[in-house]
Amino acid sequence: MHTLKIRRVGNSLGTTLPKEILQRLKVGEGDSVFITETPDGVQLTAHDPEFEKAMDAYRKVSGKYRNALRELAK
Size (the chain), residues: 74
Helix (H, G, I), strand (E, B) or coil at 11: coil
Using CA atoms, how far apart are residues 3 and 23, in angstroms rounded to an integer?
17
Whole-angstrom distance, CA of residue 68 vs CA of residue 62: 9
Residue 48 lies in a domain: yes
Any domain includes 59? yes
Q: Coil, helix or strand for 9?
A: strand
**Residue 2 in domain:** no
1 lies in a domain?
Answer: no
- The tally of domains found in the chain comes to 1
**What would the pLDDT profile of 9-65 be if each residue is shown by its tens digit?**
999 999 999 999 999 999 999 999 999 899 999 988 888 777 878 888 888 878 788
Cα 54 to Cα 33: distance, rounded to the nearest angstrom: 18
> Residue 58's domain spans which residues?
7-73
